[in-house]
Amino acid sequence: LMTAAAVTALVSGTQAATAACDEGEIVVKFSHVTNTDKHPKGIAAQLFADRVNEEMDGKACVEVFPNSTLYNDDQVLEAMLNGDVQMAAPSLSKFEQFTKVFRIFDLPFMFVNIEAVDAFQNSDTGQAMKESMVRRGLLGLGFWHNGLTQFSANKPLITPEDAKGLKFRVQPSEVLKANIEQLGASPQPMAFSEVYGALQTGVVDGQENTWSNIYGQKFFEVQDGTTETNHGVLDYMVVTSVDWWESLPEDVRTQMGQILDEVTATRNAAIAEVDADNRQAVLDAGGVIRELTPEQRQAWVDAMKPVWERFEGDVGADNIAAAQEFNA
Ligand code: LMR
């Protein structure tokens, strides 16, 4: 069933597609949930569209639908399997129905920085993850960075005990739920587009996200402050449907794949700057950011790290060890 907003978006999207795409071109609908300005995913998706539309003019045409105007992340993968959308880039926490290999990214304090994440994703172990859903009809085309995650709440969070008893919005991931429970708090899975309203009305007390999402969705406006915990990773997998991808003429698939690889490399290399830009934008807009001393941060590590043991069976001790090597 489609919401009224989705129907409206579909209608206006169809009009936009008619304007941007020429007859005979293969139309690629790229659906995502974030804003476009300043956002790592918004920028990358638009760059991909601009390049395909210019370099593959007459052959293919990409239409980007940002801001959950077409689908939420809990609908988009089904829509892709139905052929209603051809590309998306949900966060790695949103693939639980399809694979458990991405759970490693949700384990708390697994990676010390985005460089370590990048190195792990580019290792053989990481690259093999792109094919982990082929059986289920989805093909990963590349990892896109967003960044490390921070906690915010309607009260200051300095020690892990400060989180006790609070309700936190999480993405729909078993590991992310376990992380919150480990703090003595309650996790509330919820679609991204609903988080601002839920924070504003007190349906939840807090949330975890990256600087670009905290700034892009204006979460800082309806929170006491954000604590710079850097406790998790929020990255994306650009996905397509195996059936659709294989149905493309070979030259089209090769050229589009090449453009995507180049966009991925370019935008991932720029992530530190985009992340810092969004952090600064939160401050400039009057948002409160609390930094932790090394000792204060260690208390969060000690409180949350027991979650690793719970998921070691799913994630694999060897994969955890491999990931840790990139932290050096
Ligand atoms: C979230 O739901 O918080 C994120 O996955 C949104 C996004 O795409 O960055």
In 3D, which of 149, 150, 148, 140 has the Cα closest to residue 117?
148
Who's near 239: CB < 8 A, 6+ residues apart? 77, 80, 87, 88, 89, 90, 133, 138, 139, 140, 141
What are φ and ψ of residue 63, in 5° steps? Answer: -115, 120
Tokens of 267: 């935008």
Res 327 pLDDT > 90: yes
Find the 33 Cα to ligand 1 centroid distance in Å.
Answer: 7
Ligand 1 neighbour 192 (Cβ under 6 A): yes
The number of the ligand 1 atom at minimal distance from the alpha carbon of 212 is: 9
C-alpha of residue 25 to centroid of ligand 1, in Å: 31
Nearest-angstrom CA–CA distance, 1 and 79: 11
Ligand 1 pocket residue status of 209, Cβ below 6 Å: yes
CB 76 within 8 A of CB 31: yes
Task: Concatenate the DSSP letters of all residues of 2-41 into one string.
Answer: --HHHHHHHHHHHHHHHHHSPTTPEEEEEE--S-STT-HH
Provide the pLDDT confidence category of residue 61 given band limits of 50, 70 and 90.
very high
pLDDT at 20 over 90: no
What distance in angstroms lies between residue 250's CA and the mean position of ligand 1's atoms?
32
pLDDT in tens, 118-171: 999 999 999 999 999 999 999 999 999 999 999 999 999 999 999 999 999 999
Say which DSSP state 94 is in.
G
Q: Which atom belonging to ligand 1 lies closest to the Cα atom of 32?
A: 8
- Choose which residue among 213, 219, 235, 271 to substitute to test ligand 1 binding: the one with the highest number of ligand atoms within 8 A of its C-beta: 213
Q: What is the pTM of this model?
A: 0.93
* Mutation to probe ligand 1, out of 73, 145, 210 (largest number of atoms < 8 A from CB): 73
Percent of the chain with pLDDT over 70: 94
> pLDDT tens for residues 159-198?
999 999 999 999 999 999 999 999 999 999 999 999 999 9
ipTM: 0.99
User: Which ligand 1 atom sits nearest the alpha carbon of residue 195?
Assistant: 3
Tell me the average pLDDT across 217-243: 98
Q: What is the mean pLDDT of residues 295-321?
A: 96
Question: Residue 173 and residue 179: Cα distance in Å, rounded?
Answer: 10
For residue 171 and ligand 1, the question of a CB distance below 6 A is answered with: yes
| Tens digit of each residue's pLDDT (9 = 90 or more) over 70-107 | 999 999 999 999 999 999 999 999 999 999 999 999 99
Give the pLDDT of residue 3. 52
Nearest one of 238, 170, 258, 200 to 31, comparing CA atoms: 238
**Residue 287 to residue 199: CA distance in whole angstroms:** 15
Instruction: Tell me what the mean pLDDT of segment 245-253 comes to.
Output: 98
- Closest CA relative to residue 152, chosen from 127, 185, 125, 122: 185
Q: How far is the CA of 89 from the centre of ligand 1 (A)?
A: 10
pLDDT(199) > 80? yes
Residue 14's pLDDT is 43
The answer, yes or no, to whether any atom of ligand 1 lies below 6 A from the CB of 146, is yes
What is the C-alpha to C-alpha distance for residues 214 and 208, in angstroms, rounded to an integer? 9
Biggest CA-to-CA distance, the chain? 61
Q: Quick check: CB of 31 below 6 Å from ligand 1?
A: no
Mean pLDDT (whole number) for 22-31 = 96
Tokens encoding 182: 């480990």
Q: Is the C-beta atom of 44 inside 6 A of ligand 1?
A: no
**Ligand 1 pocket check for 132: Cβ under 6 Å:** no
Alpha carbon distance 60, 53 (integer Å) = 7
Q: SS3 string of 159-179?
A: CHHHHCCCEEEECCCHHHHHH
